[in-house]
Amino acid sequence: MLITVRVKPGSRKGPLVDETADGLVVFVRERAVDGAANAGVERVLAAHFGVAPRAVHIVRGHTARIKRVEIDE
């Protein structure tokens, strides 16, 4: 399954997945430094969808706030 998410790194609300009219918004506490926020996004989405963390992969947008994510089921 491919989804598009908006990421809010360094958020005090995180870790949280919020469903809005525009899609999913992922709040993570990690800052966008050395891929820490990307790893946090993968962990949070894995917990949200109930899959193993290794089943979540960022396909596009590694350095952007809007990311395309693949989730293997």
DSSP 24-46: EEEE-SS-SSTTHHHHHHHHHHH
Q: For residue range 14-33, what is the model confidence (pLDDT) as tens digits?
A: 899 999 888 899 999 999 99
- Give the C-alpha separation, 35 to 50, whole Å: 23
| pTM across the whole model | 0.91
Task: Spell out the per-residue pLDDT of the chain, length 73, in tens.
Answer: 999 999 999 999 889 999 988 889 999 999 999 999 999 999 999 999 999 999 999 999 999 999 999 999 8
Domain 2-71 falls in which CATH fold?
Answer: Conserved Hypothetical Protein Mth637; Chain: A; (3.30.1200)
